Structure 1
């Protein structure tokens, strides 16, 4: 215990020294940035992007954006800032920068890129890292961000059908449709467990009507068959079975 007490001042001294160096380096870095011009600062930010240091790039680009809001590089700085914020996982900052760019530059040649990045950011916000790592499918979590992403991609395709981002946006919209359909099916199954068969059938029908090209249609039809059976609605049940048989002949519900 005595030797440990003797070591403590040394450890604390080292920690203070390291912290002091870190603070000193940061202060030196900030002082150097103050004296750098627009071109030099932008080159520094681009180097950080190329090295994958997106947080540092975003910090420099944000300073540039504030210092030179109408400079010759202002548009490109904002576009790079959008990308750097996105890669840093800063959802709110990314969306705010995108919305400002779209509002101030509605006729810019890269508006389609900004719109695509908005959809990508909202789509990414709906993902949960821990669920992915643990392979847990939480289809019942609120899909609000997925709905926003779907609208972002829809607007992009509608306004810029020939954009180089449109094909990717269409693929992502299909993925989002499957995500939204899974949510509806998960809620329908919840209603089934609670014996709320009318609500369950309505959720199933919603999937069939609004997401007919999703991978959840078979399950939605099966929920409708089971719900109508419990409700004694034979005609609706037979109609659902007919549709199920036509599209999914191997379904266990057809028997």
Structure 2
């Protein structure tokens, strides 16, 4: 590295002064330093002192870049501000804005990182709920279709649930609950997809495990009706008639107008039986006291 490049890299005014005092006001006495890098011999650099910008200037610059939708540039400004003013109010403000700018710019992993740092450093501040919301939304916006791995869906739900639990009076809670429902629906859809595959392959035990997951964990999603009908199919195929009858009965009780109930009822009738709920079945126990999709609570 040439002396000029090293000079520009020095941020401390004290260090700069020391270098100037050693080498003189001009660079005449620093030929030895500049010759350390043989690749720079033919280049000429004009050193200039770059002073750290005041916090307010950097912050306003970041805001201006957000208005211009230069989110990446804004995030860099806020990052610089945070590093130059550690443990200050400017640092706190810059960190939450860095998370926001990265989120708006679609840099979700960077937004998650900044939001997590904010929560670690400032867990009790008014913006903590917003940091949690930005982190959860960053996971949520990365949810893929049901044919792919649903890790982001699971992380989104956990982050959103933490928001609801830790900040119950936050203005972001209502939207968080809606997002939880959508993400849960996505996970239920994935379980159904795998369950249908197993059912087609006549791997009835594997299929039942997947459908059971939907019924037990995602009862308030739109997929629970199909899961109960598929359980009826799988149990009938295995000759476990009692559970098949219970699945159909629970389906009919909770969703009497569902086309899936009509299919389940027809399947049982074809087998010479009718829907009948066994209160001791895991299916019956899973549905006790649980509100269904569209059912109002409280």
TM class by smaller structure: 0.7 to 0.9
| Cα distance change on mapping 1:98 and 1:32 into 2, 3 Å | farther
Contact in 2 for aligned 1:140/1:187 (Cα 8 Å): no
CA distance in 2, matches of 1:37, 1:162: 36
Contact in 1 for aligned 2:74/2:101 (Cα 8 Å): yes
Cα displacement string for residues 127-150 of structure 1 (whole angstroms, at most 9, x for unaligned residues): 4xxxxxxxxxx4131111111111
The yes-or-no answer on 1:254 pairing with 2:261 is no
The yes-or-no answer on 1:119 pairing with 2:136 is yes
User: Which ranges in structure 2 are unaligned for 5 or more consecutive residues?
Assistant: 1-47, 267-298
| Cα distance change on mapping 1:32 and 1:244 into 2, 3 Å | farther
What is the Cα deviation at residue 185 of structure 1? 0.5
What is the Cα deviation at residue 184 of structure 1? 0.8
| Aligned-residue RMSD, C-alpha | 1.8
The yes-or-no answer on 1:155 pairing with 2:172 is no
Which is higher, the Rg of structure 1 or of structure 2? 2
Q: How do 1:1-255 and structure 2 match up within 5 A?
A: 36-127=53-144, 138-249=145-256, 250-251=259-260, 252-255=263-266
Contact in 2 for aligned 1:224/1:240 (Cα 8 Å): yes
CA distance in 2, matches of 1:210, 1:55: 39
CA distance in 1, matches of 2:139, 2:149: 13
What is the Cα deviation at residue 219 of structure 1? 1.0
1:8 maps to what in 2? Answer: none
CA distance in 2, matches of 1:219, 1:71: 55
User: Which ranges in structure 1 are unaligned for 5 or more consecutive residues?
Assistant: 1-30, 128-137
CA distance in 2, matches of 1:84, 1:38: 17
Runs of 4+ that moved beyond 4 A:
31-35
CA distance in 2, matches of 1:120, 1:52: 19
Contact in 1 for aligned 2:195/2:210 (Cα 8 Å): yes
Contact in 2 for aligned 1:178/1:215 (Cα 8 Å): yes
1:130 maps to what in 2? Answer: none
What is the Cα deviation at residue 32 of structure 1? 11
| Cα distance change on mapping 1:56 and 1:226 into 2, 3 Å | same
Cα displacement string for residues 76-99 of structure 1 (whole angstroms, at most 9, x for unaligned residues): 111110011111222221111111
CA distance in 1, matches of 2:228, 2:135: 34
Please state which structure has a larger fraction of its residues in helix.
Answer: 1
Instruction: Using structure 1 for the length normalisation, give the TM-score.
Output: 0.79
What is the Cα deviation at residue 189 of structure 1? 0.9
Contact in 2 for aligned 1:244/1:254 (Cα 8 Å): no
CA distance in 1, matches of 2:171, 2:255: 36
CA distance in 1, matches of 2:248, 2:142: 38
CA distance in 2, matches of 1:32, 1:248: 74
CA distance in 1, matches of 2:213, 2:104: 35
CA distance in 2, matches of 1:104, 1:209: 37
Instruction: Using structure 2 for the length normalisation, give the TM-score.
Output: 0.68
